[in-house]
Amino acid sequence: MQLARLVLLIIYLKLLFIFQKKKKYSFIIFLPLTSAGRNGDSNSEDESFNDNASVYSYVSENAPSSVNDIDELSSNERFEEKFMQALENATEKSAQTRTTALQNICEILMHRYMPDFVEDRKVTLIDCVEKSIRRGKGAEQSCAARLAPLVVLQLGGDVEISKELNQCLLTTVQDKAVSFDARAKCCTALGLLNFLGGEDIGELITLMQFLEGIFSGSYLRGDDKSPVSVTAEAGTLHAEALSAWGLLLTLIPSGDFVSLMTNGQPMLPSVKKLMGLLQSPHLDVRIAAGETFALILECGRAHDKDFLEEYLGDLIEAVKQLATDSHKYRAKRDRKAQRATFRDVLHYLEVSYRLVAFFNYF
């Protein structure tokens, strides 16, 4: 499942940039001969070298590594000091102070891999994340939700922590008094935490159904023709829930996924409903829907080469319109982002269509 692996890689790189130590190469320094050596003075200290030779010194890896190790140590100490200060601030009474502290911790964990240091403080970290998600407001909740998967990544995908955080994230997503942005970040966190620690297929499907309950708010109206009018903020929430749903579907074995999509049981959304999301008035939802369809086909066709063949023609036509969309009522930057995304999706679908036709020919 090449596309699924690519999505996994992209998400890991987005969340955690692990800066590996630069490889210390040996190097050679060429030194000019002294004037005494050129003049052939037999008493010169350079008499062991002939006139046609270059003098060089080989600097081993050990020489510069000692300096680099010192720099690395001081750099680690600086990061650890900043981390400790931010962790202390994350427990302050001021909401703005806590929010800034959570942002700083996120930045540190995105740019530094420090699992042992995080492990020693994971109880405090998880407590801060839970309290900020449950009791915080707006930006604080968003930052805490963003921090949750970063902590789990630092700890090597700790399943117990993922399960511990799941419930407060689910509760927050369901709370309509919480801001759309915070709920969207919680959907993303749910997808990532369960992607890292999800083992039970039944639990994954239950979570996917929960996420569908969120993005179903962007399904077409009852006539299956008219897009539902939702705010831009709600559209962002629906897009994040759909992206999390698409990430989790890659964990379901291909054979089981095909059965769930084709047996008529309402355990997963129908292709018709998902196609309706391509007509959403919001760019984020349209792009998430296009990317999700590519994942659906990739996962399904790993088991059945004819998976969703009856829908492929209509899907290609819908994606082609989005890939060439030039409607002036859309912002220029939105049109550019949409065309770039759907050109890639269209290329994948057309290749799939040609492969199906090829195999059916034989």
Number of domains in the chain: 2
Q: Is the dihedral of CA 6, 287, 285, 320 positive or negative?
A: negative
265 & 301 share domain: yes
190 & 274 share domain: no
- Pick from 177, 171, 215, 211: nearest CA to 192: 211
pLDDT tens for 52-77 read: 444 333 334 444 455 555 566 677 88
Please list the helix, strand and coil fractions of the chain in percent, rounded to the nearest 5, in that order.
70, 5, 30
Distance CA 171, CA 237 (A): 15
Domain that holds residue 231: 218-362
Q: Among 155, 172, 199, identify where a domain stops.
A: 199
Task: State residue 79's pLDDT score.
Answer: 86
pTM score = 0.77
What CATH number is associated with residue 178? 1.25.40
103 & 224 share domain: no
Q: Is the dihedral of CA 191, 188, 80, 101 positive or negative?
A: negative
Q: Is residue 225 part of a domain?
A: yes
Q: Is residue 114 part of a domain?
A: yes
Q: Is 226 left (phi over 0), alpha (psi -120 to 50) or beta?
A: beta
Neighbours of 57 (CB within 10 A): 9
Q: Is residue 232 part of a domain?
A: yes
pLDDT tens for 177-235 read: 999 999 999 999 999 999 988 778 899 999 999 999 999 999 998 767 788 889 999 99
229 & 352 share domain: yes
Query: Which structure tokens are listed for 142?
Result: 């968003």
Beta partners for 56? 30
Q: Is residue 245 part of a domain?
A: yes
183 & 222 share domain: no
Three-class SS state of 292: helix
